[in-house]
Each structure stands twice: as structure tokens, then as C-alpha cells.
Chain A
Amino acid sequence: MPTVSVQRDALFEALGSTYTDEEFDELCFEFGLELDEITSEKTIISKERGDGKAEGASDTVLYKIDVPANRYDLLCLEGLVRGLQVFKERINIPRYRKIMPPKGEGQRLIITEEAAKIRPHAVAAVLRNITFTKERYESFIDLQEKLHQNICRKRALVAIGTHDLDTITGPFTYTAKAPSEIKFKPLNQSQEYTASQLMDLYRTDSHLRHYLHLIENKPLYPIIYDSNGVVLSMPPIINGDHTKISLNTRNVFIECTGTDITKAKIVLDILVTMFSGYCEKPYSVEAAEVTNSNGKTHIYPELAYRKEKVKPEYINKKIGISETPSNLAKLLTRMCLKSHVTGNGNHIEVEVPPTRPDVIHACDIMEDAAIAYGYNNIQMTIPKMYTIANQLPLNKLTELLRTDLAAAGFTEVLTFALCSQEDIADKLGTDISATKAVKIANPKTAEFQVARTSLLPGLLKTIAANRKMPLPLKLFEISDIVLKDDSTDVGARNYRHLCAIYYNKNPGFEIIHGLLDRVMQLLDVPNEENGYVIKAGEGSAFFPGRCAEVIAKGQSIGKFGVLHPDVITKFELTMPCSALEITIEPFV
């Protein structure tokens, strides 16, 4: 869930009232937000870098609020305030308007064929006569970053560029050129660089180096120029310094480029709806024209309002409440979904604004009505149907065996299903390619490289961690292992294994053998040809001459015996140990 950091006092000032921390927490809870942390810049710095560095940092209280991942309209202070004010019925939903500039005066962005090959889509708009303060400016930059991280998938899908319109002249060209042909002074630098030099320059920049790979290996890099050849930006990396926005900027040109047109449109809509409140004509956005590489023109931002019709019975029934249609319409309006009753009172017409791209189905509307009603106000009922239940046979067998193994004096363990490659191969004396192990592509640590193919390593590691416990140590586990299997639709499946070990000054082969006999007795499998038999066997993990194979139901179901000293040493143990591992699936 994305977290938005807002200054508490600025927030309360914009909301027009103050709250205690508990009251605000309660308000967030109702609305669907979570007040994650109350902190200040000073606290953050002293946590990360030590108290010394925090000297002189700001003490202003910051609220860190967790916002649902699909609500892009709540990612900035402006959006939060607007949402909460409408929720509390203190203000009306603003109406966002697109204003067409006088003919011939509008801004135009032209996409060339070269750009179309790399990041083909672009949208644009203008915020006219906007007034920035330091807080608004920072909020503007913050929102772009949040959008980049979330819906833009770290700029891979969409990249946003904002520019001071008075420093440039349209029409603008979005094209692509070879890296050596691109030269400009990027944001906050003091000299010009070519694009190839910029790649090197930003390789060490903690913020920008993550985006270089998006265009680095392409033959041409995207670049946006104005009619005089001034560079606006090289998406998705960096803007030009020339068009930098300052506190005195009055007119802003916004361009969003990328590979997903739906998301580019959403991003633009969110950005302009949030900040058009600070324009001279509040909530009005000047349209811009974008010409695609195939000659078609579009006007942006779309700022589309969509109308959906829902039945009041649908909402009432799906939530479990009974409200009149006009009350339901009021609830929805509180969630920024302006609604009114139509028809003969048996329909509600809901207008979905451009700030709510997350509403894509009638059920989204129904959820918002429930939120406005208050989840905790809904009456709790139990569904009236009766069902007959049962346990899965495999799990039932496992439960029965677990109790009896514990009764036999063995202690149950629960270990990780993921382990390192050595655990299931080298330490057991085999090679990793001989196991049919499932390998993980992106483990965070070496401890989680493969899924276990045997329960034995887990048990041995448990003993190693408990060496100080009194001997003998008798442990067991009945759990799943994973093996590759081409007959399943995903290529692997689980097998339910039973594994027990005995660790003492003497290996205790007879004890492990006895345990196996006991398990078979419980499973009602006699010790004969059509039950189970024990044959001398071999296993790389076992001491030669002290290993047996268990054959039942026509197949080998496992092995038991005294463990090889090499195995014992590799798991950092010092005493002799005997082990049993069988699959219990044939007995279900």
C-alpha cells in the first residue's frame, strides 16, 4: 500500500478543523485509510542516521497515511483533503472542466514515427495561471513521484514531465534520436551533456539509475523538443533544466509519455484534477492537442465522466442493508460519486468522475455505498444454508499419524519448506542435478534457493540448533516436499512425507526400525509380501551396510538407517544419528 506523508497542521488547516490523533485515526479507518505512523522529519532522520544528524531538522508533525493501491486520487494532500471533505459533506464535489483554448492558440504535441517505435503514446495538457507556494510545489513533485512508483510501474509504463510553459514555444515534437545526437543541459546541472554522457553520469545517481535500463540499449532515445530546439525532456529519465518549474511559474505544460495509453490518460487526469484547484479558474484545465505518428489527433485531457445506472435493490441486497434510493444516492455522493434517483425511483444514476478510475463495475459502486454507510454499522447475519463438511483424506491421515508418533515419544517439528541447494544435495552426499528439485529464480537469501525434496535437512538443522537439549533427541515431521513432475499442469507437485530421526550417543537403528513397524501397524499394513517388506538398500546419506529400503504397495516408499558420518558432520552435528523417511500417500 502506498504511503503518503503529509504535514499534520497543513492537513488540518485545509480540512478546516483540528482532530486529536485518535479522532483522525478513526476518520481514516471509516474512510478506508490507515494512519500508519505519526512522526516528524527529525525522528525519521535520527532513526535512519543517528541523533547527531537530526540536529536542525524540522520538528513539524508528519502523518504517514496508508492509501489503498487503487486510489490514485488520494496520493497527495490535495486529494486526501478533497476526499475527506466530501465524505464529511463539508464541500461539494468539484466539477472538473476541460477548456478549449481559442483557435490556433492551443498547445500541440506531435509524435513522430521514430518515437512511436520506442514509447509510442503521449498525452498532454496545460494548467493556466496556477499559483505555487513552497508546499504546493513540493506536493506537485511528490505526486508525480508517487504516480511513477505505482501506476506507472517505476516509469516503465508512463513517465511524467512538467514544464514552465512560459520558457518554451510550441508546437512540441516528441521524437527519437541517436544518443550521440542528443545534447542538452539536464535538470539541476550546470553544463550540457550528450545522452550517452548522461547515461554514465546517472549510473551512480541513487534515484535515476533505476530507470536507465528502460531506454539504454535502444538505438534511439526518446526526446521532446519545442519549436526552437529547446529540450523539454528525455523521457523517462530526466527533464531539461531550461523548463524547470519554480515558485513563480504561472503556466504549466504537462506531458506523459509511455507504452500504455490507458494508464497515461489516467495519470494525466489525476495530475490535472488534483492541482487545477490552484488555478485562477479553479478545476479548469486547458486542453492540448496530440497528433499521433499516423496523423490522427486527440484532445487531452479526457476528463471523462461516465454514467452508470444501478438498481437500489442491488446495492441494498449485496450489502445487507435497506436504505431508500435517495439515501443511497446521498451515500454515493459522499464518496465523490455524484448520484441522483431517476426513473420511478427504482434506478440510481451514478456519475463516475475522472478521479475514480478504480470504479469499473457496479460492485465498485456498491462497495463505496457500503463504506459511506459504515462497515461497522451493517448488521451481521449468518447465511441460512446448511452444508455438510469433511476433511481431506490425506490431511486426516496426517493428523492421526501425528498424534500417534507423539505418543511414541517423538517430538514434532515444523520446518521451512525452502532451503539452500547444499541442504538437499551436497550435505546429503548427492549432486543437485540428481534431485528433481524446484529452483527459485529470485531468492533474497541463500537459505531459500530451492524447495525441499526431503524432510531430513530440516530435521537435522533443528537438532543442530538444539544441541544443548538433553539426549536422546527424537524428532519427527509429517509434511510436504516438492518435486518436479511433468504430468501436472504446473510442472511440480507436493508429496506428503513422514520423517523421523533419533540422535543419541548410540545410533538407535533398532528404535527407528521399531517406529517404522509401529507406523505400519497403525496403517494396518502387515509385514509380508502384500504388505510391506524391508530390503537391504543404499543411500548416499546413509552408512553403507546400515541402510534399508521399505517396499510397500509395489513400490519403494522410502528408506531408513544410520546416517553417514559425513552427513552428520556437514550439518554440524557430533553424535550418531539414524533416520527414517517415507511417503505416506499410498496409504490414504
Chain B
Amino acid sequence: FSEMPTHSFVESAFWNFDALFQPQQHPARDQHDTFFLQDPAEALELPPGYMGRVKKVHSQGGYGSQGYRSEWRVADARRTLLRTHTTACSARLLQRLAQQASFAPGRWFSIERVFRNEAVDATHLAEFHQVEGVVAERGLALGHLLGILREFFSKMGITQLRFKPAYNPYTEPSMEVFSYHPGLKRWVEVGNSGVFRP
């Protein structure tokens, strides 16, 4: 797995949410409890052609999808924030990949800081690190995702795994990964995953 460039804490709502099909008016956006920025308050530029396609899929559908069929506003996409997940970097990476002349399969990872506007307590911090992995190849299936996750966790000594259906706006199917914690004597969530929506 190659390391992804993730060299900016500040992101635009476009890359953090809209390019990942997270609806503009949906509580899914609040789920992440974001740090919005006062200064700079707006992103200086967004990729015009790509943005047009994202707008269309949100408001009318496309690529086989019905879309959300709600109004999509550029102003919302322009807002700047501190990234809530490194999937925003994955989105940038995938878009660059898509612009290459020919497709070459690849795998990428990153271990980077993300920010969520939560009250700090024993199990929550406002900033923490996420491990992110992306695999792009022809003919991938859910079984492959399960296999990679199993290998990844077993390298850390976590072998008892269960997978639960979950929901992310940008992946379908999505899975939460649970592992049995012998100390706490219960299953705890150790990760989230999914296959990106077409």
C-alpha cells in the first residue's frame, strides 16, 4: 500500500462531503459534527467540470442512481472546515486517478489526524488519528474487502472478527468491523469499511 498525500488539515466541504455523496441537508452531515472555519471561510476554488458532475448526481441522479433530488448549493460546498475523515483525501486521490490516461490498479493508505467537534471525555477527543486504506482494481467484490480487513487486523493480533451491515453515504455496501475484546468481554467496533458507490 502506498502512502497517500494528506498534507492539509483544512478541507472544503466539497471534498469532505459533496464529492463523497454526503447530502447537503441531511443529518449525515451533522453526524460528523464538524469544525467549520471562520477564516478562511470559503474555499478559493473548486474543480469546475467535476463539480458540475457532482451537482448533477446529487440533484438529479446519474450513473444509474436516482440521486437525492434536492437542491444542491455551491455555497454549501465552498465552506471550509477541518477534515472530519481522511476519506476526503481518498476522494482527491481517486479524482486524480480518474484523470490519468489509463487505469492502473493501486492501493493506498494514510494514517493522519482528523477533527470532530465533540466534547472531550474519557472515550472521545476532538482530534484523533485515522488509518485509511483504499484499493482500486478491476473486479473487486465484498469478499475481497473482508479478506483484506482480516489480514490487516490479524497483523495486529486481532483475529476474532465479525462484520455488521452499516451505512455510509459514500459506500454501498458498508460494513462495521467488530472484534471481541477479551478484557472487556464484549465485541467492540474497531473499524468501518465499504465499497465506494458507482
Q: Which residues does A use to contact B, with CB under 8 Å?
A: 1, 29, 31-32, 34, 68-71, 149-151, 153, 157, 260, 262-263, 317-321, 360-364, 366-367, 370-371, 375-376, 378-383, 385, 387-392, 394-395, 416-418, 437-445, 448, 451, 480, 482, 484, 486, 488-494
Q: In the complex, what distance in Å separates the CA atom of A371 from the CA atom of B31?
A: 23
A sample of 13 cross-chain residue pairs with beta-carbon separation below 8 angstroms, ordered by A number, consists of A361-B172, A381-B146, A389-B3, A391-B2, A392-B4, A395-B3, A416-B127, A440-B82, A444-B126, A448-B35, A451-B10, A480-B9, A491-B44
A385 is contacted by which of B35, B105, B167 (Cβ under 8 Å)? Answer: B105
Which of A380, A388, A437 has the most chain B CB atoms closer than 10 A to its own CB?
Answer: A380
B147 A381 Cβ-Cβ under 8 A: yes
In the complex, which residues of chain A have a beta carbon less than 8 angstroms from the beta carbon of B65?
360-361
Residue of B nearest to A31 (CB): B165
On whether A442 and B164 interact (CB within 8 A), knowing A363-B172, A367-B173, the answer reads no
B35 A488 Cβ-Cβ under 8 A: no
A438 B35 Cβ-Cβ under 8 A: no
A376 B144 Cβ-Cβ under 8 A: no
Residue of B nearest to A320 (CB): B143
In the complex, which residues of chain B have a beta carbon less than 8 angstroms from the beta carbon of A488?
8, 44
Q: Which residues does B use to contact A, with CB under 8 Å?
A: 1-5, 7-12, 25-28, 31, 35-46, 61, 63-71, 80, 82, 105-107, 113, 115, 117-120, 126-127, 135, 137, 139-144, 146-148, 150-151, 162-167, 169, 172-175, 195, 197-198
A439 B37 Cβ-Cβ under 8 A: yes
Give, as a whole number of angstroms, the nearest-CB distance from A529 to chain B: 30
In the complex, which residues of chain B have a beta carbon less than 8 angstroms from the beta carbon of A484?
39-40
B27 A150 Cβ-Cβ under 8 A: yes
B31 A69 Cβ-Cβ under 8 A: yes
Give, as a whole number of angstroms, the nearest-CB distance from B22 to chain A: 11
In the complex, which residues of chain A have a beta carbon less than 8 angstroms from the beta carbon of B12?
489-490
On whether A361 and B44 interact (CB within 8 A), knowing A387-B107, A417-B113, A441-B37, the answer reads no
On whether A379 and B143 interact (CB within 8 A), knowing A70-B167, A439-B37, A491-B42, the answer reads yes
A451 B137 Cβ-Cβ under 8 A: no
B10 A438 Cβ-Cβ under 8 A: yes
Give, as a whole number of angstroms, the nearest-CB distance from B171 to chain A: 9
In the complex, which residues of chain B have a beta carbon less than 8 angstroms from the beta carbon of A378?
142-143, 146
A438 is contacted by which of B28, B37, B63 (Cβ under 8 Å)? Answer: B37
In the complex, which residues of chain B have a beta carbon less than 8 angstroms from the beta carbon of A390?
2-3
Given contacts A317-B141, A383-B148, A444-B118, 15 further A-B contacts (CB under 8 A): A1-B31, A32-B167, A317-B139, A360-B61, A367-B173, A382-B151, A385-B105, A387-B2, A387-B106, A438-B39, A441-B35, A445-B120, A451-B82, A491-B43, A492-B40
The 7 closest A-B pairs by CB, nearest first: A320-B143, A32-B165, A491-B40, A367-B173, A320-B141, A68-B167, A360-B66
Give, as a whole number of angstroms, the nearest-CB distance from B78 to chain A: 10
Give, as a whole number of angstroms, the nearest-CB distance from B154 to chain A: 11
A318 B38 Cβ-Cβ under 8 A: no
In the complex, which residues of chain A have a beta carbon less than 8 angstroms from the beta carbon of B5?
392
On whether A382 and B31 interact (CB within 8 A), knowing A390-B3, A394-B7, the answer reads no
Q: In the complex, what distance in Å separates the CA atom of A366 from the CA atom of B198?
A: 12
B143 A381 Cβ-Cβ under 8 A: yes
On whether A69 and B27 interact (CB within 8 A), knowing A360-B66, A490-B8, the answer reads yes
Give, as a whole number of angstroms, the nearest-CB distance from B94 to chain A: 15
In the complex, which residues of chain A have a beta carbon less than 8 angstroms from the beta carbon of B164?
29, 32, 34, 375
B144 A389 Cβ-Cβ under 8 A: no
Residue of A nearest to B151 (CB): A382
In the complex, which residues of chain A have a beta carbon less than 8 angstroms from the beta carbon of B26?
69, 151, 153
Q: In the complex, what distance in Å separates the CA atom of A390 from the CA atom of B109?
A: 10
Residue of B nearest to A370 (CB): B173
B40 is contacted by which of A31, A382, A387, A438 (Cβ under 8 Å)? Answer: A438
Give, as a whole number of angstroms, the nearest-CB distance from B182 to chain A: 17
In the complex, which residues of chain B have a beta carbon less than 8 angstroms from the beta carbon of A70?
28, 167, 169
In the complex, which residues of chain A have a beta carbon less than 8 angstroms from the beta carbon of B4?
392
Residue of A nearest to B78 (CB): A490
In the complex, which residues of chain B have a beta carbon less than 8 angstroms from the beta carbon of A385?
105, 137
B127 A319 Cβ-Cβ under 8 A: no
Q: In the complex, what distance in Å separates the CA atom of A31 from the CA atom of B64?
A: 26
In the complex, which residues of chain B have a beta carbon less than 8 angstroms from the beta carbon of A441?
35-38, 41
Q: In the complex, what distance in Å separates the CA atom of A262 from the CA atom of B8?
A: 36
Give, as a whole number of angstroms, the nearest-CB distance from B105 to chain A: 5
